[in-house]
Each structure stands twice: as structure tokens, then as C-alpha cells.
Amino acid sequence: MHQVLSVGRSLSIQAHPDKELAEYLHKAQPSVYKDPNHKPEMALALTEFEALCGFISSEELDIVLDMVPEINEVVSNASVDQHDGEVKGRDLRSIFTKLISIDRDVIFKALSKLVNRLTRENETRQLTSKEELVLKLEKQYPNDVGVLASLLLNLVKLEPGDGLYIGANEPHAHLNGECIECMATSDNVVRAGLTPKYMDVKTLCSMLTYKQGLPEILKGVPINQYVRRYTPPFEEFEVDQCVVDQGGSVVFPALPGPSVFVVISGEGMMLTSTSEDGVSEGDALFAPAGTEVQVSSESEVRVYRAGVNNKVLLNP
């Protein structure tokens, strides 16, 4: 799947199951998990783009627990827990599980305290980006546990041209901006907050990797003067960004797999051995396997091509 996504209102905090878990969930709850496939995805920023992705580092977690009394109060009973016979202090899995599982009235009280405190403090100091995000999210999703959970996730800010890939079992949420989104074909989503939709808390808490630290930002690799390639660390797809100057032309060599082209801006022509099509903003075209595609521009044209990961095609 390859689409343009414009985010005005923050989307839900969610994670996508890996292939094995997706098959299990589909058999167990086919009305909720409608297919047995996983859903790795990648977002390429068209504008400044903000997202939550992955859990904050251990050092940042300590700061949150020390500096945000409203969260510390809620999860205090989970600050020491036992896993695999080992007692761990300030264990992320315990903290997140406790937070995401608490009663709605507890969330209501904690959020009221947090919002009131930040509103007061905003009159005497500059709030951090995360604190400003809390106030924004609480207006969009009042009394939602995801507002508190956002403090445990990395706030990632992408510049146009930056890419962010999201693997299986990793929490994330798109907050605002426009991007090209590419993902495997699946509708399987396990939600964690910022949503009125169904949240499968038990599945969510058991499936996450709980990996901590900032995610990798992809900058792309130049293929030629017009094309930059973004290759995530999974086999389903890769994406080429193509910006052709007015009067310019570029050839996409024939590949063993199919491709989908989406025109973001400008006007031009797309030529194959069997067709010649004028294209402009909003057009999408499918290129079968083994098809060479030439893109030429009348005015500067920006095109994205999504196809099967080249590494897979070269190493069957």
C-alpha cells in the first residue's frame, strides 16, 4: 500500500503485530483482526512532520518519573516488578502496562492535575515540546490514557525528505504534517490510546518489544541526479523519491517486481514501451514487473515510486 497522508488531528497510538502474532490474532478474533498479515510501514515527510515512535531511553524515563508527579503517582505500584525471576527497578514494561491498564476515573484525575499544573506553569516558563504536546492532545482526546502514554514515547520531528520506518510491535502515532506512507497490505492494528476505538490492552502489553531510544531517521541514498532511494530494514518494499527539473528526464529501469508511482506536484509525461501518459498532481500509475518507465517534466515534477525491496529481488 502506497498513499499520501495528511495529518491534521493526531492519529491513535498503535502497534502492528508481527507475522506470527497476526496469524494467531486473525484465528482468535477474525472480526477484529481481519487478515493474517503483518504491517511494517515507512513514512517519508513531504512537509515538517511530527510523530511519536518507540519508547524513550532509560535516562529520559527517569526524568519523566521524577519530574511528572502525575505519572509517578499513577504508576508508583509498578515501579518495581519481577520478570523472569529478576527484580527490576523502574521497569518500562511494568510502568507502561500499569499506565495503559488503569481505570478511566484515575486517568481523569491524573490528567486534570497535569493539565492544570502545566497551564499555570506556562504563565511563568516556556513549556517543553512534550508538555505542549500533552496540552494539545488532551484537547483533542479528553480523558484519554494516550495523553499520559505520550510522555513515555519519543517525539520525532522530521524535515521534508526525512524517512521514518516502523517495524512490527513498535508503538507509534502520526501527530501532524504530510507524508508519503508505504506499508505492507494489512489492516491489523492494536491501539494504545488517542482513540475512541477498541483497545486490546492485554495483547498490546504482551506484544511490544519495549526497545528504548530514538528511532533511526532515513535520509535516503542518491541513485542519480534526480532519484533518492529509501530502503527500510524489511523486505516488503522500498521507496524512490524523484524530483525532475523542468525539461529533464529520468529512466526507472525494468524490475522483476511491480511498482506504483504517485505524482505529488508538477506536470510531465510517463512513458513505457506500450504507453505514453500525461501526468500531474494526484495521479497514480501502476507499472507491471519488467517495465521500464521514463519520467520527463514540463514543469518540475515530484514523483514517488514504491516497489518490492531491491535486496529481495536481487537475492531470491
Q: Which residues are catalytic?
A: 191
What span, in angstroms and rounded, lies between the C-alpha atoms of 280 and 298?
Answer: 10
Please report where in the chains the cell 499520559 appears, as a residue.
148
Q: What angle do CA 259, 264, 270 make, to 5 degrees?
A: 50
Q: Max CA-CA distance within the chain?
A: 67
Q: What angle do CA 260, 263, 268 make, to 5 degrees?
A: 115
